[in-house]
Amino acid sequence: MILAHGLGGRSDLPVPLWLALYAGAAAVVVSFFALTVLWKEPKLRGADAGRPLPLQRFVDGGFSRVAMRVLGVALFAGFLAMAWAGPGNSAGNPAPAWFYVWFWVGLVPLSLLFGPVWTRLNPLRTIATLIPARHRELPDRLGYLPAIVGLLAFLWLELVFPYSDSPRAIALFATVYAVIHIALGAVFGPRWFDRGDAFEVYARLIAALSPFGRRADGCLVVRNPLDGLLTVSPAPWLTALVLVVLGSTAFDGLTRLPFWTSLDAGVLGGTAGLAACIALTYGAYAGAISLTRPYLRRGFDPYPAFAPSLIPIMVGYTVAHYFSFAVFSGQQGFGRAIDYTVVSTGVIALVQIAGIVAGHVLAVTSAHDRSVGVLRANYVKVGQYPMLALMIGYTALGIALVSGS
């Protein structure tokens, strides 16, 4: 099982690293100054935006709902059966590829293309609804904290645990995770999965960037994906959740550098490295927010105000770090040997750089729209400089890490 994501080294880049860095930073800067000239007032409408689609009757019909739920449970049961009873190594068992590539990585294109469909497919939600129980109220103060705990557990398994490709280890994680969330779903009802299930929360955040979504009146619509970002619930711990994903991708890139591989860090070192990357990513964002505060209008909390703007960066980093992993290791899910010629290293590098740059440009656009509404009138441009500097830094770091330099 190939667990190293992204490029193998700097020589894979089709252009010099310095040129890729300058081009990425320039794209972010140019887009920012173009926005300051052309985008003088908020244009995004969030949950009020979108044109109705004629497919709503089919999408919301009883047959499609039941069919998707049955499909989700059947796929999960098949995965668990293979993970527990199939061959004990990833070379002969497709379950690791199904879990890490088809499911974890697959949530990104699935959610971007079709919106929050994982909510319908989620087998844990389906099973929990079948358990008769009187639901308790989920405390609002928890926000996305339970999802962060589940996400950290998964990321540790994937990026730190030395036997992360073991079918039995994956089976144990999936089984324990399922039991916990089915039980909590039975106690707290469907709202638990909206806030507590790491994979459903993650998929819903990505789905906010989909051109398909729901308007405030429940109508199925096609919309500007940036409008979808404004529909993300600004619950507590939202910013932390996104930064956990960003920090984990930074750690993934770090582990492929010669510096890290020479350390032979082990489980403790890997755990510390993952925690440090998340902390540094969070610290950089918190620093930019603290520099932005003096320019805000009274009564605005910048953390929930700007948190949705981080989602395009999260998606861009995910594409960059998992693209080659998905293309190559995903083939093992079909039970066949990996064909490394299906895509060239040059194409991989271009997709990775494009993912990072596009994510940051969309983030700058979303943040700018928010800024013109929450920054004081005379400080709209200068008040965005801290976030602009942060995004340039994130862009440069992301490109450097996927280059393996």
- Residue 363 within any structural domain of the chain: yes
* Identity of the amino acid at 334: F
DSSP 24-42: HHHHHHHHHHHHHHH--S-
Per-residue pLDDT of 82-112, as tens digits, reads 999 999 998 899 999 999 999 999 999 999 9
- Residue 119 within any structural domain of the chain: yes
- Residue 38 within any structural domain of the chain: yes
Could you tell me which of 273, 271, 150 has the C-alpha nearest to residue 203?
150
> What is the spatial distance between Cα 349 and Cα 323, in angstroms, rounded to a whole number?
9
| pLDDT at res. 18 | 67
- Residue 316 within any structural domain of the chain: yes
- Residue 131 within any structural domain of the chain: yes
Its domain, for residue 289, covers 10-403
- Residue 2 within any structural domain of the chain: no
- Residue 98 within any structural domain of the chain: yes
| pLDDT at res. 353 | 86
3-class DSSP state of 7: coil
> What is the spatial distance between Cα 104 and Cα 5, in angstroms, rounded to a whole number?
13
| pLDDT at res. 378 | 87
Task: For the chain, list residues with pLDDT below 50.
Answer: 1-11
| pLDDT at res. 94 | 95
| pLDDT at res. 352 | 85
> What is the spatial distance between Cα 279 and Cα 283, in angstroms, rounded to a whole number?
6
- Residue 269 within any structural domain of the chain: yes
Total of domains in the chain: 1
Parallel, antiparallel, or unpaired for β 220-222 and 212-214? Answer: antiparallel
DSSP 141-208: GGTTHHHHHHHHHHHHHHHT-TTTT-HHHHHHHHHHHHHHHHHHHHHH-THHHHHT-HHHHHHHHHHT
